[in-house]
Amino acid sequence: MLKIGEFSKLTLLTVKALRFYEKEGILVPALIDEWTGYRFYDTSQLETAARIKAYRQLDLSVREIKAALSGMQIKEILAAKAEALRAQQEEIRIRLSIIHHILEDNQMRYQAVIKRVPAAIVYYEEKRLSHIKEKMTFIPESGDECMRLNPDLQCTTPEYEFIEYLDSEYKETDVLIRHSQAVTRFGNENERIKFKEVPATRVISIYHKGSYEQLGEAYAYLAKYAEENGYHVKGLARECYIDGIWNKEAVEDWLTEIQLPIE
């Protein structure tokens, strides 16, 4: 039997860590002296301690370690951890890109243009999303559903596709969104896909290059530009995605046009 200090030296785990793992029930001493409270470990527990240390180096949580020690396939646990780390990596990459962009003093300087968007027939779908980030999944799913109903339907050339936010306030969760795509004719509808004609619209147009998390700057610029130049907003702003994660690896290369209808 090994005293806790001896066990600590052999496992390269601090006494504090061992007491924590004991409390969490993943490495309980083989014997605790009821009079002195001294902890003793069996040599067979050295292997368990080594596994715990290795798992912690992989940033597995106590819950995940418990699952591994209780018989769950470690490959399943590590696969889930790898997926979570990839998601974190993407979030970190985006944030680093924004930080570098700001540090280099290359923040977007918008150039507003007044233009007329011609009338168009569009198919559209409205949906309430649990989070705003789901819009990039919703858009292609909406297109797939429309093409399933209308396999011969053609999009206009040049293409014109946009989304609008239908809530009365800015929201990141429980977001009501409408996706529209200009097409050459009316088509078959169902409970999801509808068709309508969008009239010709005069808009203030600006291009935003970079992360969607910075789109607030573009909207602020549009609102200020409209007010300072005496334009009255008429309708919902439209986000048109030109380049994004589907065809550009670097966040700084993502390009979004924002159109604000005016009169």
Say whether pLDDT at 102 is over 80.
no
The rounded radius of gyration (Å) of the Cα atoms in the chain is: 28
* Average pLDDT of the chain to the nearest whole number: 88
DSSP state of 234: -
| Residue-level pLDDT at 172 | 87
| Residue-level pLDDT at 97 | 63
| Residue-level pLDDT at 216 | 86
| Percentage of residues of the chain with pLDDT beyond 90 | 43
| Residue-level pLDDT at 147 | 96
Say whether pLDDT at 103 is over 70.
no
- Cβ pair 190, 149 in contact under 8 A: yes
Q: How far is CA 58 from the centre of its chain?
A: 23
Q: pTM (2 decimals)?
A: 0.60
The arithmetic mean of pLDDT across residues 133-142, rounded, is: 92
Tens digits of per-residue pLDDT, 173-194? 999 999 999 999 999 999 999 9
HEC per residue, 54-89: HHHHCCCCHHHHHHHHCCCCHHHHHHHHHHHHHHHH
**pLDDT-based confidence at 168, cuts 50/70/90?**
confident
**pLDDT-based confidence at 233, cuts 50/70/90?**
very high
| Residue-level pLDDT at 101 | 54
